[in-house]
């Protein structure tokens, strides 16, 4: 969140913007209260649109806030995501402020979009829960998570669709780099949380720039892949997944992710040829535009010194 409105931010080339806080405000009360006039109007506006908040809190980067929504059916949640992002920007502009959902606005902590998934039976029962299973997880849940884990690299383009997405994946940044799962372990790409009826898996790979519909579709496709094949879930990562030497990693660029997406038979089976072609073209257009751009970094690096 920034103290300048969008048109002023645009006119400045998005440089020199003033964040709405001056320091790390993770769980801080006072600094967030300064943003409360805007945050309150966002909450009230979204409540009027039928969205239900569970929590709002300060975060690590300057002016950064985290907003958590109550769970709902997958498509409803995705629709709410779109309503929220557009509505929050409009309300911020009315306050003479701006905010961004870029995955990585600057070199500090990025903007995440952690997606929680659980399944219900036709009778509404929590099919992921089993009090007698390892860690309270049913065999279906273990295969579901195993499928997501096995397909994360192929589906990364669905979770990280822009050049900027991949700058968020950095060690010790709260954004994952390792293809690992853990029990309430925030260093892992997949984090199992909750107990009993509310046990679920959180995917920490997507950033604030995610296409939520595509990401949720990929998470479901990956989970069903695991269930249909009865995949076995490895032991959970204990400790710091960033430091795991024997763990596979997420792709580090959009180009790498596009190759994995294109070469995946599972992706084509899940989405069909037309959808695959569309999102591959989107990635290639993004890459071509970026490769043609001359950045501030290049000018600073080379204008005088080369």
| Digit-coded pLDDT (tens) for 153-190 | 999 999 999 999 999 999 999 999 999 999 999 999 99
- Quote the DSSP letter at residue 239: S
Nearest 5°: phi and psi at 186? -80, 0
Q: Residue 17 in 3-state DSSP?
A: coil
Return d(Cα 132, Cα 177) in angstroms, integer.
32
Of 13, 23, 97, nearest to 58 by C-alpha is 23
Locate tokens 């199992």: which residue?
192
Report CA-CA distances (Å) from 18 to 12, 62, 131, 247: 12, 9, 50, 39
Other beta carbons within 10 Å of 249: 14
Look at residue 274 in the predicted model and tell me its pLDDT.
Answer: 98
Identify the bridge partners of residue 103 per DSSP, sorted by sequence position: none
pLDDT of residue 29: 83
Q: How many helices (H) and strands (E) does the chain have?
A: 11, 6
Is residue 114 within 8 A of residue 203, CB to CB? The reply is: yes
**pLDDT tens column, 29-82:** 888 888 999 999 999 999 999 999 888 999 999 999 999 999 999 999 999 999
Q: What is the pLDDT of residues 195-246, one digit of tens each?
A: 999 999 999 999 999 999 999 999 999 999 999 999 999 999 999 999 987 8
Identify the pLDDT of residue 30.
86
Residue 130 has a CB neighbour count (10 Å cut-off) of: 18
Q: Which helix (H) or strand (E) holds 93?
A: helix 74-94
Instruction: Tell me if the pTM is above 0.75.
Output: yes
In the chain, the domains with their CATH numbers are: 1-100 (no CATH), 114-294 (3.30.590.10)
Q: Locate all alpha helices (DSSP H) within 104-154, ordered by sequence.
A: 139-151
Nearest to 4 by CA among 21, 18, 22: 18
């Amino acid at each position: 969140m920034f103290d300048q409105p969008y048109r002023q931010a645009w006119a400045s080339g998005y440089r020199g913007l003033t964040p709405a806080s001056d320091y790390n405000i993770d769980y801080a009360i006072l600094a967030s209260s300064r943003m409360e006039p805007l945050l309150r109007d966002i909450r009230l506006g979204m409540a009027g649109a039928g969205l239900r908040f569970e929590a709002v809190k300060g975060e690590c980067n300057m002016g950064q806030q985290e907003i958590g929504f109550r769970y709902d059916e997958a498509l409803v949640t995705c629709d709410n995501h779109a309503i929220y992002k557009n509505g929050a920007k409009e309300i911020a502009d009315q306050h003479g402020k701006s905010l961004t959902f870029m995955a990585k606005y600057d070199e500090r902590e990025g903007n995440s979009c952690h997606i929680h998934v659980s399944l219900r039976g036709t009778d509404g029962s929590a099919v992921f829960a089993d009090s007698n299973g390892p860690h309270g997880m049913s065999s279906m849940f273990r295969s579901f998570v195993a499928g997501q884990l096995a397909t994360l690299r192929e589906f990364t383009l669905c979770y990280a669709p822009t050049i900027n997405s991949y700058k968020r994946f950095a060690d010790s940044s709260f954004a994952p780099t390792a293809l690992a799962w853990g029990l309430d372990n925030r260093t892992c790409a997949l984090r199992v949380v909750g107990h009993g009826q509310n046990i679920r898996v959180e995917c920490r790979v997507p950033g604030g720039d995610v296409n939520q519909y595509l990401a949720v579709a990929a998470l479901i496709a990956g989970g069903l892949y695991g269930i249909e094949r009865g995949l076995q879930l490895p032991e959970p990562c204990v400790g710091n997944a960033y430091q795991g030497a024997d763990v596979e990693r997420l792709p580090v660029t959009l180009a790498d992710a596009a190759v994995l997406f294109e070469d995946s038979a599972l992706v084509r089976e899940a989405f069909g040829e037309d959808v695959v072609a569309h999102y591959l073209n989107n990635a290639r257009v993004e890459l071509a535009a970026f490769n043609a751009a001359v950045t501030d970094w290049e000018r600073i690096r080379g204008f005088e010194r080369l």
